[in-house]
Amino acid sequence: MAVQVSPFAAGCGAQISGVDIREPLEAADRDAIRKAWLDNLVLRFRGVPMTDAQHMAFTRQFGELEFNPAKLIEMKYGVSTQTDGRKAEIPPEISVISNIIEDGKAIGGLGDGEAFWHTDSSFVDVPPAASLLRSLECPPPSAGGATSFLNCYAAYDDLPADTKKRIDGMTMIHAATHSSGGKAHRGFETVEDVSKVPGARQPMVRTHPETGKKSLFLGRRINAYVLGLPVVESEELLDELWDHMVQAKYTWTQEWQVGDLVWWDNRCAMHRRDAFDPSMRRLMHRTQLKGTRPV
């Protein structure tokens, strides 16, 4: 078996080497990669520029492909949030994350700004289990655009016992109103009362379906609401949990190179992205694996 797993010193993440993931995997390599993913939450493969077809074929060896989030939002909420300049030939299982404008239209989502801490698509009832993001074009690290990952198991484990007791079994709404860049999705612009926000009901503490471990599961901060609490108390509790959760000790930061593929466990890791120099091009394609209903 060729797979080598080199965990990073931070709270999550490992570099995987020794295997060409553009080729079909031997069963033992596939199992080793899967285990490394469950153990380390985030995997990085470096120096593997690939096509969409190779990216999708690699992903399929670990489960069923999920559609891109605009498609998921359209299916659940009946509104279109797809960027105008998306290329018709790109399969619906590929998300395009880019600041590139062609003919006056954005070819992908998220622009060049900061993306705030989030779980991908947890505003639908069954969010993806995994996201696999690959870099086709990116600015040098000195121009920004790094992506950080957060170990939500560790953040949960370190909570005071009384906080754990309080939130275990609580449900919250993961609002569908905003992108991770903080931009309102078309059709979701006005929210007067967060307790009535459109979104999915999710457990605040999630038990991972494969590892059995518990993690904090907060989605994104904007328009979040803890069911059963007055809005003021919900805001206080969420602020307290977020302050605790986003400590640097739980995070690892990826500085991108062209040909990187980073694969995170969307059930127990969150991520954010730094803004970057708007004069530079950044183009990422992403596949996702279908998940299971959070419990």
Q: Which residues form the interface with Mn ion (CB under 5 A)?
A: 120
Q: 107 in helix, strand or coil?
A: coil
CB of 66 to Mn ion, least distance (A): 13
Q: What is the CB neighbour count within 10 angstroms for residue 277?
A: 15
Is the alpha carbon torsion for 239, 235, 152, 198 positive or negative?
negative
**Please, which residues have CB within 8 angstroms of residue 241's CB and are 6 or more apart in sequence?**
159, 163, 167, 204, 216, 218
Please tell me the count of residues contacting ligand OGA according to CB under 6 A.
Answer: 12
| Residue 115 near ligand OGA by CB under 6 A | yes
Rama region for 239: left / alpha / beta (φ>0; ψ in -120 to 50; rest): alpha
CA-based angle 284:243:181, to the nearest 5? Answer: 30
d(CA 245, CA 91): 35
Closer CB to ligand OGA, 234 or 287, in the complex: 287
Contact 167, 115 (CB under 8 A): no
**Is residue 132 close enough to count as binding ligand OGA by CB under 6 A?**
no
221 binds ligand OGA (CB under 6 A): no
Cβ nearer to ligand OGA, comparing 206 with 273: 273
With CB cut-offs between 5 and 8 Å by kind, which of ligand OGA, Mn ion, none does residue 173 bind?
Answer: none
12 contacts which partner out of Mn ion, ligand OGA, none, CB within 5 to 8 A by kind? none
Provide the residue type at 164 as one letter. Answer: K
Within residues 150-189, the interface with ligand OGA by CB under 6 A covers: 180
Q: Quick one: tokens of 83?
A: 């960027």
Q: Which member of 40, 131, 234, 287 binds ligand OGA (CB under 6 A)?
A: 131
284: partner contacted, choices Mn ion, ligand OGA, none (Cβ within 5-8 A by kind): ligand OGA
Residues 260-279 that bind ligand OGA (CB under 6 A): 271, 273
Least separation in angstroms between residue 119's CB and ligand OGA is: 9
Closer by beta carbon to Mn ion, 120 or else 265: 120
Other CB atoms closer than 10 Å to residue 257's CB: what's the count? 13
Kindly report the backbone phi and psi dihedral angles of residue 42, in degrees, each rounded to the nearest multiple of 5, phi listed first.
-135, 130
Toward ligand OGA, which CB reaches closer, 226 or 294? Answer: 294
The residues that touch ligand OGA, with contacts defined as CB under 6 A, are 97, 110, 115, 120, 131, 133, 147, 180, 271, 273, 284, 286
